């Protein structure tokens, strides 16, 4: 009996030792406790946008891949889409034991802000989905941060949709403050679009309302191609442009695979620069695009059609060598703790049309913030979020990746019955909460 007790105690202590400390934001950097944390990660969505699956809902497959994550030396993965109705405990625990954090997109192709008509998708159905996904993942200490949206603004014609992205960041931060057991950073992943990347970053970091400002900003970068350099790739200019940005920045996708018209094996020379003090005064690492070989040929590995085997590509071995050869800077990497929020970019017709007055969330969605999102409804047969009335009481006006963009305005229409079913299910959740008041 004594031996059993001792064994049990040791097992508990071992489990406690394996727990990861939640990631926090201090100034323009991420921290793991008192130690600065740099993202060394990959984008992870086996099947790609053409065959979207929840990679954390299948323990056999996630365990298979975590072995290779550890070989690469990763501390983070990004997942673009999950099913919030599934159980993720086992995979999240396996990631935690491997020292790996999750960076999670809260949207799905059918639950996202439509860049062409953002007001139509900013409603209680949408809010219930993203809030329920927060509930599903806020309990895990190794959930590092949430993306409120991905590549919604992708050219000069869609900048007005940034107003709704900022509103979603506000809504999520309010929900997390009220319903989450801890604070979890919320930010945005921007497309590799030079015309408005700076304005988007400034817009999501401006204004007096702290809840409406992002906790971090990330963007895709495919400027370092082949045998390049810090200056040739324009990274020196990115550091200069963002030197006064007051919250963390990182690359949500990187790893150019093209020279001219040719797809090439990547050597990942940029890793040395990314984790040097040339960059770390402003940037906090990044996520390599992507883990599995999909139609766009960015994969580090090839997964067999029966999902039983994984073959490492040369890209995998090259990235592993670079990660092993390059250490993070000593100390805090010259991060800055006293920078001020950005100034809001000026409205320019046809160039930058985001509004500093955000849409007001409606009463039904406010109930979700106050009382919780209720049962997660998942992704199956959910239809589009463009259903029912919009969530606004008023709305004043003033990528290389191929990943599922949450601003996609070309999604297939769902059947009216499935759309109506989801709207009624969400209405039932909200109605039940109202009865409890």
Picking from 28, 342, 29, the residue whose alpha carbon sits closest to that of residue 199 is: 342
Q: Among residues 94, 96, 119, 151, which one is catalytic?
A: 151
DSSP string of 97-163, one letter each residue: HTT-EEEEE--BTTBS--TTSHHHH-SHHHHHHHHHHHHHHTT-TTEEEEEEEES---STTSGGGHH
Give the separation between CA 161 and CA 154, rounded to whole angstroms: 10
Cβ contact 23:32 at 8 Å: yes
- Would you tell me how many other CB atoms lie within 10 Å of the CB of residue 105? 24
The percent of the chain in helix, strand and coil, each rounded to the nearest 5, is 35, 15, 50
Closest CA to 407 of 129, 79, 116, 204: 116
Q: How far is CA 142 from CA 41, 87, 116, 138, in A?
A: 14, 16, 34, 9
Which is catalytic among the residues 96, 202, 253, 270? Answer: 253
- 151 is annotated as an active-site residue: yes
Show the tokens assigned to 338.
Answer: 């006293």
Residues annotated as catalytic (active site), given as ranges: 151, 253
């Amino acid at each position: 009996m004594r031996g059993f007790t001792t064994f049990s105690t040791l097992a508990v202590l071992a489990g406690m030792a394996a727990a990861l400390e939640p990631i926090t934001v201090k100034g323009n950097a991420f921290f793991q406790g008192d130690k600065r944390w740099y993202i060394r990660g990959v984008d992870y969505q086996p099947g790609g946008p053409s065959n979207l699956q929840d990679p954390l809902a299948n323990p056999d497959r996630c365990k298979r891949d975590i072995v290779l994550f550890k070989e690469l030396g990763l501390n983070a993965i990004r997942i673009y889409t999950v099913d919030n109705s599934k159980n993720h405990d086992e995979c999240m625990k396996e990631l935690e034991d491997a020292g790996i954090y999750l960076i999670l997109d809260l949207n799905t192709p059918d639950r996202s802000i439509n860049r062409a008509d953002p007001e139509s998708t900013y409603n209680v159905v949408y809010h219930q989905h993203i809030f329920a996904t927060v509930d599903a993942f806020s309990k895990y200490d190794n959930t590092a941060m949430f993306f409120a949206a991905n590549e919604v603004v992708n050219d000069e014609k869609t900048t007005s949709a940034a107003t709704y992205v900022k509103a979603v960041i506000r809504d999520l931060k309010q929900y997390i403050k009220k319903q989450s057991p801890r604070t979890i950073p919320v930010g945005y992943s921007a497309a590799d679009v030079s015309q408005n990347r700076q304005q988007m970053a400034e817009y999501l970091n401006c204004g007096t309302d702290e809840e409406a400002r992002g906790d971090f900003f990330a963007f895709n970068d495919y400027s370092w191609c082949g045998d390049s350099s810090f200056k040739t790739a324009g990274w020196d200019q990115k550091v200069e442009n963002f030197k006064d940005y007051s919250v963390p920045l990182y690359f949500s996708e990187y790893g150019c695979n093209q020279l001219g018209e040719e797809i090439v094996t990547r050597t990942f020379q940029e890793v040395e620069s990314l984790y040097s003090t040339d960059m770390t005064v402003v940037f906090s690492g990044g996520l390599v695009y992507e883990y599995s070989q999909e139609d766009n040929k960015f994969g580090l590995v090839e997964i067999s059609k029966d999902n039983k085997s994984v073959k490492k590509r040369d890209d995998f071995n090259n990235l592993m060598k670079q990660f092993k050869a390059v250490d993070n800077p000593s100390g805090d990497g010259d991060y800055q703790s006293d920078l001020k929020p950005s100034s809001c970019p000026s409205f320019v017709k046809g160039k930058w049309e985001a509004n500093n007055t955000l849409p007001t969330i409606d009463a039904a969605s406010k109930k979700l913030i106050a009382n919780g999102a209720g049962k997660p409804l998942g992704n199956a047969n959910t239809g589009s979020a463009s259903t029912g009335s919009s969530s606004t009481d008023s709305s004043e006006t003033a990528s290389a990746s191929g990943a599922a963009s949450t601003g996609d305005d070309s999604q297939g229409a769902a059947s009216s019955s499935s759309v109506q079913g989801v709207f009624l299910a969400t209405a039932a959740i909200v109605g039940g909460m109202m009865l409890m008041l």
